[in-house]
Structure 1
Amino acid sequence: MAELSTDLILWLCILLPSLYIFNLIRFRKTSKLPPGPVGFPVVGSLFELGSMPNESLARLSQLHGPLMALQLGFITTVVVSSAEMAEQVLHKHDQAFAGRTVGDAVKVLDYHHHSLVFSQNGERWRELRRICNTELFTPKRLDTLTGFREQKVQALLRHVHTACAAGRLVNIAECAFGTALNLVANTIFSQDVVDLESESTGEVKSIVWELLVLGAKPNLSDFFPALRWVDPQGLRRRTRTLLKRLYGVFDQLIDKRMESDAAANGGKKKKYGDFLEVLLELTRKPSSGFTRENIRPLLTDLFIAGSDTPSATIEWAMTELLRHPGKMSAVQLELERAIGTKRPVKESDIERLPYLQALVKETLRLHPPVPLLIPHRADVTTEVAGFTIPKNTQVLVNTWAISRDPACWENATSFLPERFLNSDINFKGKDFHFIPFGSGRRICPGMPLGVRMVHLVLASLLHSFSWKLPDGMAPEQLDVGTKFGISLQKAIPLKAFPCPRSLDGVE
């Protein structure tokens, strides 16, 4: 066994440098490749990424330009760091860059073939996208499920009231994450998957959270494809185990619904109006191409994206408000004037809350949920701004750098919701200096649901409670360090003391 290990290391020592030299020659043969750092043998510029790649790449782009090429191991990568270059890549050449760079761990159980997020730009992806746009995330469908979301937010407020009565700190991220999971679960299955009052994390919550943790870890197999058969960090094996567990939960929920439908045979079948009803109807049509097996990855997409991004955004918004008490007072005054103190916030109230909307936009600008977006891939060799981007190149759009670009934003690093008041700038993919959800055909399809969730939860927390930092901490002492992952999260979770502003606001 020791000899085998020694031989393996020897072959890798010979093979990896040889492959790197070949790749470097191929990389530099493209004379019109965008400028960028040369990097080190074998690893390229990997060591320059550090723990916060969005910040490191932003600094490198200041040296090499807003369209920058570099090697990350054996992966040729182009980084987009300006609104002008983002418009070129995501709008003018949208079709050419609509492919996906898919990580090794994502390929287990053929997840990437049926995932809306990771499937390549082709017939299957277009059908998934069509279903989402015409059946799942339409205003009519989301309006139908408004009552579910409002009920789940009331459950959150009751949980916070319990913590308040006990004099406990509230972990904003944890509460927001559990609530977001229940909001998604009720939108899809018309039932909860998390008990906010239980100390147990719950199976779905623990699975989704661990998938997010795994997804945030750099995988050596992605940068050095020769290592994929080894799976040196075990990420593929662990992802497979977690997906199987999550699929098992989905199967139980689907079986329960189908049994209910079967029991109603000859009688009146209950109409849920949720996403599962739509998807099961599709599986009954052979021509649709949908089966129970291939809707599981779509359900997984919805649970992961629908819980992580909204909860991170809510935590960052609360963090910034606690750091800027005057702005918290402004949004709470708006809530009092628009809603009063005798009833809870409803989704229909949001359109009458311009400062709240501006607050959410500014949070998404300063803390974009996916700082490098989901990696794009060049499906064809394409010329952009006089440079050549070869086929199969990975393309990263640094929305974190773009949304802090002083050429686009005055006082770019300051938290100023007022900049969005009386402004028609929005996050729907047309204003390329503000694209937290991406743009073009790969823009986040769940944005309509996620935005509703964030506004409703945030407005409800601010309407029902005043919030204070623990132990006499001053606002300027609040830690705003970040950790890089699928979403950009606070390094130290936000905890604060709630104090009821009106007990009439909770049903």
Structure 2
Amino acid sequence: MIIYFLIILPLILLYLLQKTRKPSKSLLPPGPPQLPLIGNLHQLATAGNLHVHLWQLSKKYGPIFHMKLGSLPLLVISSPKLAKEVMKTQDLAFCSRPKLLVPQRLSYNCLDVVFSPYSDHWREVRKITTTHLFSPTKIQSFHHLRQDEISRVVAKISSFASAREVFNFSELARAVSSNLICRIAFGKRYDEDGEEMRRFYALLHEVQTLMATFFVSDYFPGLKWVDKVAGLVSRLDSTCEKLDCFYRELIDEHLDRNRKEVAVEEDVLDVLLRLKEEKSCSIELTWDHIKALLMNIFIAATESTAVSMVWVMTALMKEPQIMHKVQSEIRSSTGRKGKVEEDDLPKLHYLKAVIYETMRLYPPAPLLVPRESMERCSLDGFEVPPKTVVYINAWAIARDPEYWENPDEFVPERFLNSNLDVKGQDFEIIPFGSGRRICPGISMGLVDLSLIIGNLLKSFDWELPPGMLAEDVDTDSSPGIGVHKKIPLLLLAKKYVG
């Protein structure tokens, strides 16, 4: 990426030196020094983990600071107080999305709920997701799918336990998350070692790579040709064609009359097809609307559950006493019952605290999804122009020492006897965002994660590979949109007999 940036830098300079620039009269927040024309793009292009880099800058320039990414003004928010101002007090002014090339193409020109700019159209699509796709009744209807996938993963781990075999927990988390989401969204389960699952993973990996790729035209619209010359546009075109084919196959399978006759429960795609056929929405659902919404589930839901599973187990392996405490709660609360079920979850207060504390330290999307201001407004005494991109650094906010005691330590007890929640009302911890743009799948994600982790902790005692100590477990993450553990988590499981 750095080499690519260095190659195009002279082209950018040659193009923009011909343009005149009017000095800004806005009272902007402070920020790091900018290079002529490109602003701070060089800093973002060379940053490893962007959320950490921006957190370090916030220590120097404050909880609100300004950067310039080519032609795009950027604000970075790193405090709960200002996050509340952006996502609640002035939510309407900051609730749009910037139009970036990759999200725009993946979402069929922003017909989805995640990347669509704020508009009447977005409000109607949001209504569809909350009313029909992720309502409490709909989430409950997937109960048997969750239990079946959990039974399968427990059986798989049991085989590793019987053989005393070290296994890759990161791979297992990805597999169980992918199959659960595929069954909920598409009514389809893939063989973990089969060609279809490899295709699924390949598509997911390519989308993640493109989302983290630097496209010149996002920051210099007049230089779209540079992306074409670099081969990025053709790569994006190819990926979008593959995704469209993937969605079309799923739709065709669901339209097959034989499948309709044997289907027991509506999956998400069934619901969307029914709404389209009945024309019961205030907007006319097209095939592109349906495919755009499938994309949201395909990317966001699959990733967040798998990432959170790995970080929960990583945190617990580093703190054996916390592992034993949460296992004791689960096993005593569920008794001789063979599994943790959804009606057990309200009793498992320490399990909830462990999951919340994990999401505090390791939010699955540390910068959330970028917002964009829709009008000129004031924030913390500074003037914010319209069309300003806003990064909310949820990772930094959840480590703010003014709000969290010993913020770098894993202490689930901080959520016991506390009203703090991760559902968007407490701005000290916002892994799912807040306000109008809060993740619509938050309730389903928490249920899925809690049940999977609860059952794994009930069914097995967990150990590190021979010769490895708790302090040897690393917490390094890979650069990218989501915070993946850089080195896969390898574990040993021993079947618990209670």
Tell whether the structures are fold-level matches, with TM greater than 0.5. Answer: yes
Distance 1:373 1:109, change over 3 A: closer
Q: Distance in 1 between matches of 2:345 and 2:336?
A: 16
Say yes or no: does 1:238 pair with 2:231: no
**CA shift at 1:305, angstroms?**
0.6
Q: Which residue of 2 aligns with 1:276?
A: 269
SS at match of 2:446: helix
Matches within 5 A, 1:132-143: 132-143=129-140
Matches within 5 A, 1:67-106: 67-106=64-103
Residue type of the partner of 2:16? Answer: L
Q: Percent identity?
A: 35
**CA shift at 1:214, angstroms?**
2.4
8 Å Cα contact 2:104/2:115 also seen in 1: no
Residue type of the partner of 1:81? Answer: S
**CA shift at 1:373, angstroms?**
0.9
**CA shift at 1:283, angstroms?**
1.1
Q: Which residue of 2 aligns with 1:285?
A: 278
**CA shift at 1:466, angstroms?**
1.6
Matches within 5 A, 1:76-475: 76-108=73-105, 111-192=108-189, 194-196=190-192, 198=194, 201-231=197-227, 233-260=230-257, 264=261, 270-286=263-279, 288=281, 289-475=284-470
**CA shift at 1:127, angstroms?**
1.1
Q: Distance in 1 between matches of 2:370 and 2:425?
A: 19
Q: Distance in 2 between matches of 1:347 and 1:262?
A: 29
8 Å Cα contact 2:39/2:70 also seen in 1: yes
Say yes or no: does 1:29 pair with 2:25: yes
SS at match of 2:94: coil
5+ residue gaps, structure 1, are 1-7
- Which string of whole-angstrom CA distances, capped at 9 and with x for unpartnered residues, describes residues 201-240 of structure 1? 4322221122123223333332333332331554443233
**CA shift at 1:199, angstroms?**
8.8
Q: Distance in 2 between matches of 1:305 and 1:360?
A: 18
Comparing 38-47 with 84-93, greater Cα deviation is found at 38-47
8 Å Cα contact 2:51/2:367 also seen in 1: yes
Comparing 248-257 with 470-479, greater Cα deviation is found at 248-257
8 Å Cα contact 1:159/1:196 also seen in 2: no
**CA shift at 1:271, angstroms?**
4.7
Q: Distance in 1 between matches of 2:479 and 2:115?
A: 20
Distance 1:322 1:106, change over 3 A: same
SS at match of 2:48: coil
Q: Distance in 1 between matches of 2:64 and 2:443?
A: 30
Distance 1:73 1:456, change over 3 A: same
**CA shift at 1:48, angstroms?**
3.2
Distance 1:271 1:225, change over 3 A: same
Distance 1:348 1:233, change over 3 A: farther
**CA shift at 1:310, angstroms?**
1.0
Q: Distance in 2 between matches of 1:278 and 1:211?
A: 25
8 Å Cα contact 2:107/2:295 also seen in 1: no
- Which string of whole-angstrom CA distances, capped at 9 and with x for unpartnered residues, describes residues 278-333 of structure 1? 11111113463112232101001111111111111110110010000000001111
**CA shift at 1:468, angstroms?**
1.4
What is the Cα-based RMSD across aligned positions, in Å? Answer: 2.2
5+ residue gaps, structure 2, are 1-7
Q: Distance in 2 between matches of 1:182 and 1:85?
A: 38
Residue type of the partner of 1:245? Answer: K
**CA shift at 1:44, angstroms?**
1.9
- Which string of whole-angstrom CA distances, capped at 9 and with x for unpartnered residues, describes residues 454-503 of structure 1? 1111112211112211231111111111123221111112111112114x
SS at match of 2:192: coil
**How many residue pairs were aligned?**
486
- Which string of whole-angstrom CA distances, capped at 9 and with x for unpartnered residues, describes residues 235-262 of structure 1? 4432332232233222222222222269
SS at match of 1:396: strand
Q: Distance in 2 between matches of 1:286 and 1:426?
A: 37
8 Å Cα contact 1:42/1:73 also seen in 2: yes
Q: Which residue of 1 aligns with 2:473?
A: 478
**CA shift at 1:63, angstroms?**
1.9
Residue type of the partner of 1:156? Answer: V
Q: Distance in 1 between matches of 2:339 and 2:15?
A: 64
SS at match of 2:115: coil
Distance 1:146 1:106, change over 3 A: same
SS at match of 1:472: coil
Residue type of the partner of 1:380? Answer: E
Q: Distance in 1 between matches of 2:29 and 2:361?
A: 27
8 Å Cα contact 1:427/1:436 also seen in 2: yes
SS at match of 1:239: helix
Distance 1:282 1:458, change over 3 A: same
- Which string of whole-angstrom CA distances, capped at 9 and with x for unpartnered residues, describes residues 147-187 of structure 1? 11110111111222223334432222221112111111111
- Which string of whole-angstrom CA distances, capped at 9 and with x for unpartnered residues, describes residues 99-135 of structure 1? 1013222222662421211111112211111011111
**CA shift at 1:18, angstroms?**
4.4
8 Å Cα contact 2:364/2:431 also seen in 1: yes
Distance 1:342 1:198, change over 3 A: farther
Q: Distance in 2 between matches of 1:16 and 1:344?
A: 63
SS at match of 1:388: strand
SS at match of 1:407: coil
8 Å Cα contact 1:380/1:391 also seen in 2: yes
8 Å Cα contact 2:216/2:226 also seen in 1: no
Q: Distance in 2 between matches of 1:222 and 1:171?
A: 38
**CA shift at 1:335, angstroms?**
1.2
Residue type of the partner of 1:389? Answer: V
